[in-house]
Amino acid sequence: MKTSFKSITLITLLSISLLSLSACGSSSNNEQASSAPQATVAEKAATEAPATEAPATATPEPKKDPVTLSFAMSGDVPLTGVEEIFKNFEAKTGNKVEILGLPDYANVIKARLATKDYPDVFWYYPGTGDFSVFKPDENFADLSNEAYVSDITDSQKNFQTLDGKLYGMPWGASTTMSIYYNKEVFTKLSLAPPKNYADFLAICETIKAAGITPIQTAVKDGWPEQVYFLASWETFVDPAIGKEGIDKLNKNELKIKDIPQVKDIFTRELELKTKGYFPKNLLSTTYDMQAEAVMTGKAAMMIEGDWVLADVQKKFGDAGLDKLGAFPIPSDTDTGTVVLYPPGQVIVAKNNKNADVAKELLAFMSTPESLAIWYGKNPGMPVFKSAMETAKLSAPQKDMLNYQNTSKSEINVQFRLLPTFTDFDKISQQFIISGNVDEAVNMLDKNYQRSGKDKKLAGF
């Protein structure tokens, strides 16, 4: 998962690669038979009945011929569960779903959208940042009034909403960035997850006094060092600047270097280093060493994304996952904000003749039965509220879901900003080595400005 995180961080996207799809077909298989049905017996009786007789029984709706929907998917979307849901949809409605596996998906789907060569349904990347190019009000079906919308979690729904409309149904599982801890170490030292940042520092001090490394790092690999900052933005920066601040950052009306809380995050991380809460062999620590140190009790905590859980399970089994707990980076006053990586979204082509059937498919995908199939085979934090109790989650994922439901959650800031934090892995690594806060802030701001210019965004 190392390269996956790095690519997400640079927002070349994407989500979490699990399976590849083979190329097949095109949207030409969407044609629906157009022959008109013959008159029914009821219709014939109605036309022959004398005028004085009672009205005939209402004519039933002609049965629609089944159609085949084209559904374009990226290799980032697991097929496990999806194919079963599509088979169930066919069994219930008679309508089939043809999966289109497009090579070089990111470029091919954008090219098809640009030329209005729309599949009936297609998976697309999280967010609405580049929707304006495709004129969604003209080309994407508005899903805002669909029944399942009320079941989507608020953070996901707000993130996917553009100008008050929802054009894409979130599909998949959210991932999080958290502080993962060894529950046996915490129990031995009579520790509990922190209620605020002061508690967190006190926990680190207690662990250090016991001769255990409080936080295992991965400085040599570099990219994991981004997680502390990215998992802290939503707790410290968002409350200060709000949605208005994000909008200003996207228009270059606010500079990253002018946000005091950005500097504060780097300062807090440096404090963890200077207080001796990181390993003594700091510069040689790697991603692989993180889970090993925490699981064996040599370290108590690691600040990571939940992609690390797959590595823990592979090496230590389900019993290893049960040994881990998780909590968000706390604020000065509360337990902090859960940071979510959003899944992709499913969009219906508004002007295709099968648009109504395509919307029926989305409604079917979001039924409790379909969600049980999906989340039963693809463990992760659901984006549908009704699936939360039955989703297959590990112990630390359950912890984070509980924080999400009882506290606050927000989408990772990288998905809400139009420019990217270019080379942030290198900036983060250099910062931990040098301890130069101002240099890190200025480099982050400089690269953000350059990204906005490279993307030719207004205001940059």
pLDDT digits (tens, 9 = 90+) for 96-129: 999 998 888 989 988 898 888 999 999 999 999 8
Radius of gyration of the chain, Cα coordinates, nearest whole angstrom: 26
Same domain, 241 and 334: yes
* Rounded Cα distance, 345 and 147, in Å: 17
Nearest C-alpha neighbor of 72 from the set 113, 31, 33: 113
- The number of folded domains in the chain is 2
Whether 51 is in a domain gets the answer no
Same domain, 368 and 278: no
Indicate which CATH number applies to the domain containing 446.
3.40.190.10
Residue 152 sits at the vertex; the CA angle it makes with 146 and 155, to the nearest 5 degrees, is 130
Same domain, 164 and 190: no
Q: Which whole number is the average pLDDT over 255-275?
A: 99
Helix, coil or strand: residue 202 = helix
The H or E element containing residue 451 is helix 437-454
**170 phi, psi to nearest 5 deg:** -55, 140
Whether 401 is in a domain gets the answer no
Say how many residues make up the chain: 460
* Rounded Cα distance, 441 and 35, in Å: 66
Same domain, 356 and 418: no
Q: What is the pLDDT of residue 306?
A: 93
Task: Please check whether residue 77 is in contact with residue 14, taking contact to mean a CB–CB distance below 8 angstroms.
Answer: no
Lowest mean pLDDT among 85-94, 97-106, 185-194, 425-434: 97-106
Nearest C-alpha neighbor of 84 from the set 426, 372, 352, 432: 372
Task: Please check whether residue 197 is in contact with residue 337, taking contact to mean a CB–CB distance below 8 angstroms.
Answer: no
Residue ranges of E strands in 117-172: 121-124, 161-162, 165-166, 168-171
Same domain, 302 and 361: no
Taking the model in full, what pTM does it have? 0.83
Task: Please check whether residue 309 is in contact with residue 396, taking contact to mean a CB–CB distance below 8 angstroms.
Answer: yes
Mean residue pLDDT of the chain comes to: 88
Whether 310 is in a domain gets the answer yes
SS3 percent helix, strand, coil of the chain, rounded to 5, is 50, 15, 35
Same domain, 27 and 159: yes
Same domain, 270 and 321: yes
Same domain, 321 and 381: no
Whether 405 is in a domain gets the answer no
Same domain, 364 and 269: no
Cα of 189 vs its chain's centroid, Å: 35
Whether 441 is in a domain gets the answer yes
Whether 60 is in a domain gets the answer no
pLDDT digits (tens, 9 = 90+) for 136-147: 999 999 999 999
Q: What is the pLDDT of residue 55?
A: 45
Q: What is the pLDDT of residue 63?
A: 59
Among 387, 418, 443, the domain boundary falls at: 387
Q: What is the pLDDT of residue 341?
A: 93
pLDDT digits (tens, 9 = 90+) for 50-70: 444 444 444 555 557 899 999
**384 phi, psi to nearest 5 deg:** -110, 130
Whether 314 is in a domain gets the answer yes
How are beta strands 408-411 and 337-341 bridged, if at all? parallel
Same domain, 377 and 433: no
* Rounded Cα distance, 318 and 155, in Å: 29
Whether 167 is in a domain gets the answer yes
Task: Please check whether residue 326 is in contact with residue 241, taking contact to mean a CB–CB distance below 8 angstroms.
Answer: no
Nearest C-alpha neighbor of 294 from the set 177, 186, 403, 425: 186
Q: DSSP of 253-322, one letter per residue?
A: SS-GGG-HHHHHHHHHHHHHHHTT-S-TTGGG--HHHHHHHHHTTSEEEEEEETTHHHHHHHHHHHHHHH
Domain that holds residue 437: 176-341+410-454
pLDDT digits (tens, 9 = 90+) for 13-45: 333 333 333 333 333 333 333 333 333 333 333
pLDDT digits (tens, 9 = 90+) for 340-370: 999 999 999 999 999 999 999 999 999 999 9
Same domain, 16 and 129: yes
Same domain, 123 and 228: no
